[in-house]
Amino acid sequence: MDFKTVLYEVNDYVAKITLNLPEIRNPLTEKSANELLQAITNADRDPNVRAIVITGAGKAFSAGGNLNEFKKNLEKTAPELHFEGRASTELFKVGAKVQTPLIAAVNGPALGGGTGLVAMCHIAIASSEAKLGLTELRLGLVPFVIMPWVRRAVGDRKMLELMLTAEIITAEQAKEFNLVHRVVPPEELEAEAMKVAKTVASFSPLAVQLGLDAFYNTEQMDLLKSFDYLSTLRLVSFMSEDLREGASAFLEKRTPNWKGQ
């Protein structure tokens, strides 16, 4: 696709998606949310992609919602807002559906929906200059759509604190709260994110996919039923070409040639 608000490139089995509205701090507008969703979906369907890195152009990762769009929303009917809002809703649903690991490279401020995007990614690496926060209440809003991801990352009571105080926190605080996994100097961010992405991409894509399936599908499942479900997934793994290839490559001391089958 010919994207207008994101940049998309694939190298060495890694797709890099860059929010590309730096002059307005990469907000999640209706258009950019749609294009980001499409870019993630395209990467997830591409057999040549085994990891996805999401970052922002310029000094910001994403400043969240766009105030100009919020003002226009005040003049719309409830049905219009409902159907137009599906773009951002679908964007944040994709994190639980995608079968390719998402890695956030948080290069700068990630506020509101930007924090939600970071929380949605499976692995998050932040520049020491990054700032995060649920600032919606400052505008009379509530972080409705991103709440499930932030709650999953930080827990119930920390989610309430972040939401009710609308505090902007440092990258180190975000790491302490489990919003990000690593904090690195700004000049090392891209290299560190690509290093992690290439490590993930070096594993069997089938095994990675099964791992994500296992994680999400057993989250709300009865404990005993989860063991039955996981035993079924294990059979798929045990009978896969990738497992045979991985075992052979290990014994032969060579790099495995994954087929994803």
CA dist 209 and 53 (Å) reads 17
Among 15, 98, 79, CA closest to 53: 15
Count of CA atoms in the C-beta half-sphere (13 A) of 79: 0
Q: How far apart are CA 248 and CA 81, in angstroms?
A: 55
Task: Establish whether 136 is a catalytic residue.
Answer: yes
Tokens of 15: 């797709």
Element (H, E) at 126: strand 123-127
CA dihedral 227, 233, 235, 239 (to 10 degrees): -160
Catalytic residue among 69, 80, 136, 161: 136
| Residue type (1 letter), 138 | R
Structural contact between residues 98 and 44, judged by C-beta atoms closer than 8 angstroms: yes
Q: What are the backbone dihedrals phi and psi of residue 177, each rounded to the nearest 5 degrees, phi first?
A: -85, -5
The answer to whether 107 touches 125, Cβ cutoff 8 Å, is no
For the CA atoms of 65, 125, 153, 47, the dihedral, rounded to the nearest 10 degrees, stands at 90
Tracing tokens 């891209």 back to the chain, one arrives at 190
For the annotated catalytic residues, the residue numbers are 136
